């Protein structure tokens, strides 16, 4: 089994003739796009059909080229060829901003768009896509301005984002007389030795101190760009823009956050119980958040992870099981940390192949196996969308975390159910609560922090020390007395790449949404049995063609009802009570 993923199905390299052919095809489609936008006279149906076909084909071809370069860059942030290709493609596609804007304005001017959509099967297939264009037109500027924005983003937010990724992936970390990287040092938070966990935490903070100013400038520049764009376009705030782009109601977010705030003290009880178990009386130090408990010391190889996940999901769905086996057998996964590789984990769809590629920094713990299950859940979501038009595969942030977290719950609940030894069972429950604590308390702290950054950035430049201050304030509110306030993580803003996007603000609450939505869906699976699985796959497929609330209705769920979120949180509260009981 390969340690690294293979991209040869895309291209053999940047000198592959197919790469040059596809880049030339993008150039030709961009010319067609400009020609279409220059003459929008004639039958609206014919114009829209041409526009949809061109958008579809251009999106697929550009995604193929970008996927190859960006995936290469993610495992080698010093890859000069990848950086050059990404820059060149970005500049080329910036030319599409003006004609796209002209088409958006044309679509918004159609008085009876629905009747035009109903008159053609291709347009009907892309109904949600076209209706969103008409809605987005309210926030679209002139073609000339949109083109200018697209051009300066290349050397603006995109470049600042690259800087954050480069600094955090290449900064040398001094540890025990040797030099390592942040991905490796952050993995030591799971080490069974408490002395290692604490010393790694201290080494990590020292490393951020060396690169904090560059990352602070990156964050300030990106957030100011977002604020300026929101003001130009007429959004009430960056959060308003995020919700509209996510096709999610503010009532849903308020219900979610309201329920989380009610249940925060329950998670503080969990952290204090874990702290006492580890010998701490003033709450849990941050560096002990991921401390494994006795009984949870199994070590897994990548081959073990494959065997475990294939066996596990064979009891859920044959289609997903087959896809998981393919991911291991056909080199979809890049497993291990190394210098120059980005930290964390992600799953990227490769639409041209109807496959995905998964990056992890696998360390051999059960948590790493669960992370694989999580990312393969994303891959299964992509699999369910694969036969949609590429224009109907753009899933909004909140529902994007549904299948991944569902897989996590399946994996962990199976492990807990099979364990009879009280100490081992306690360790497994704690492992699940540790992850749940991330999507509740940690995500809430990130949401508070990003809200504070946007509130302050317009009137002041937030230097690194100020950002650390905002982060610790957010952590104190979110973690309460569950954490020892002497040992927080003031640099959490520096290592989370989700803050560093000019187009995706507030990529935090979707994790809480996905975690709790998935638990509600899992409860329905336990209740309905195998009959739930086709409904689940139908819901995942629908996420590309309906709103967040509309997708939930496929399963009969009202997301604006706070009681739904309370019921999902209560599942976790019951686990916390069991864990505290086992601690005694």
Q: Give domain limits for the chain.
A: 17-155
DSSP H helices, 110-249, are: 113-118, 121-125, 127-136, 143-154, 157-170, 182-187, 194-233, 238-245
User: What are the tens digits of pLDDT across the range 240-286?
Assistant: 999 999 999 999 999 999 999 999 999 999 999 999 999 999 999 99
Structure tokens at 139: 């926030």
Residue 334 near residue 75 (C-beta atoms within 8 A): yes
User: What are the tens digits of pLDDT across the range 104-159?
Assistant: 889 988 989 999 999 999 999 999 999 999 888 888 888 888 888 988 998 999 99
Residue 379 near residue 407 (C-beta atoms within 8 A): no
Vertex 442 angle, CA 438 and 443, to 5°: 95
User: What are the tens digits of pLDDT across the range 379-424?
Assistant: 999 999 999 999 999 998 889 989 999 999 999 888 888 888 888 8
CATH number attached to the domain at 17-155: 1.20.140.70
**Residue 274 or 2, more confident:** 274
Separation of alpha carbons 24 and 133, rounded Å: 27
Burial class (CB in 10 A: 0-12, 13-18, 19+), 580: middle
CA 403, 408, 414, 415: dihedral to nearest 10 degrees? 170
Q: Does the pLDDT at position 298 exceed 80?
A: no
User: What are the tens digits of pLDDT across the range 52-69?
Assistant: 999 999 999 999 999 999
- Least confident span in 242-246, 281-285, 513-517, 524-528: 524-528
Q: Does the pLDDT at position 98 exceed 90?
A: no
Separation of alpha carbons 451 and 446, rounded Å: 8
pTM assigned to the model: 0.83
Q: What is the pLDDT of residue 209?
A: 94
Separation of alpha carbons 535 and 531, rounded Å: 7
Separation of alpha carbons 329 and 59, rounded Å: 29
- List, as one string, the DSSP characters of 149-170: HHHHHHTTHHHHHHHHHHHHHH
User: What are the tens digits of pLDDT across the range 307-364?
Assistant: 999 999 998 999 999 999 999 999 999 999 988 998 889 999 999 999 999 999 999 9
Query: In the predicted model, what is the mean pLDDT of residues 168-184?
Result: 92
């Amino acid at each position: 089994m390969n340690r690294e993923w293979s991209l040869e199905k895309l291209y053999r390299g940047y000198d592959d003739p197919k790469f040059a052919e596809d880049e030339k095809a993008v150039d030709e489609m961009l010319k067609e796009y400009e020609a279409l936008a220059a003459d929008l006279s004639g039958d609206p149906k014919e114009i829209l059909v041409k526009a949809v076909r061109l958008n579809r084909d251009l999106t697929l071809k550009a995604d193929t080229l970008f996927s190859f370069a960006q995936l290469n860059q993610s495992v080698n942030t010093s890859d000069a060829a990848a950086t050059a290709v990404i820059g060149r493609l970005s500049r080329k596609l910036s030319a599409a901003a003006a004609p796209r804007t002209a088409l958006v304005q044309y679509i918004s001017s159609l008085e009876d768009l629905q009747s035009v959509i109903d008159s053609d099967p291709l347009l009907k297939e892309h109904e949600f896509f076209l209706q969103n264009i008409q809605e987005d037109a309210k926030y679209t500027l002139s073609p000339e301005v949109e083109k200018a924005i697209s051009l300066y983003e290349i050397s603006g937010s995109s470049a600042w984002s690259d800087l954050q990724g480069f600094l955090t992936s290449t900064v040398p970390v001094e540890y025990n007389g040797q030099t390592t990287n942040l991905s490796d040092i952050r993995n030591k938070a799971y080490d069974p030795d408490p002395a290692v966990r604490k010393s790694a935490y201290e080494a990590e903070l020292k490393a951020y101190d060396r690169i904090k100013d560059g990352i602070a400038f990156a964050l300030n520049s990106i957030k100011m760009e977002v604020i300026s764009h929101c003001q130009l376009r007429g959004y009430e705030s960056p959060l308003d823009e995020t919700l509209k782009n996510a096709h999610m109601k503010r009532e849903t977010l308020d219900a979610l956050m309201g329920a989380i705030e009610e249940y925060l003290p329950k998670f503080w009880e969990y952290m204090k119980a874990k702290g006492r178990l580890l010998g701490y009386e003033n709450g849990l130090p941050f560096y002990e958040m991921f401390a494994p408990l006795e009984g949870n010391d199994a070590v897994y190889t990548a081959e073990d992870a494959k065997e475990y996940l294939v066996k596990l999901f064979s009891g859920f769905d044959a289609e997903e099981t087959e896809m998981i086996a393919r991911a291991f057998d056909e080199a979809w996964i890049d497993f291990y940390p190394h210098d120059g590789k980005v930290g964390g984990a992600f799953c990227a769809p490769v639409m041209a192949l109807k496959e995905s590629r998964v990056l992890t920094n696998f360390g051999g713990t059960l948590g790493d196996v669960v992370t694989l299950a999580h990312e393969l859940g994303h891959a299964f979501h992509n699999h369910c969308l694969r036969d949609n038009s590429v224009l109907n595969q753009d899933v909004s942030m909140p529902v994007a975390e549904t299948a991944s977290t569902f897989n996590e719950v399946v994996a962990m609940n199976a492990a807990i159910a099979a364990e009879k030894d009280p100490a081992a069972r306690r360790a497994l429950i704690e492992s699940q609560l540790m992850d749940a604590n991330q999507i509740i308390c940690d995500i809430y702290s990130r949401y508070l922090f990003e809200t504070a950054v946007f509130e302050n950035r317009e009137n002041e430049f937030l230097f690194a020390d100020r950002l650390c201050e905002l982060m610790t304030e957010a952590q104190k509110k979110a973690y309460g007395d569950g954490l020892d306030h002497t040992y927080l993580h003031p640099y959490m803003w520096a290592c989370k790449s989700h803050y560093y996007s000019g187009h995706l603000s507030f990529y935090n609450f979707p994790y809480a949404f996905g975690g709790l939505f998935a638990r509600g869906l899992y409860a329905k699976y336990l209740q309905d049995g195998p009959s739930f699985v086709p409904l689940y796959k139908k819901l995942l497929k629908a996420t590309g063609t309906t709103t967040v609330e509309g997708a939930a209705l496929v399963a009969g769920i009202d997301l604006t009802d706070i009681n739904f979120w309370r019921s999902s949180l209560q599942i976790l509260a019951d686990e916390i009570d069991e864990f505290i009981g086992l601690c005694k």
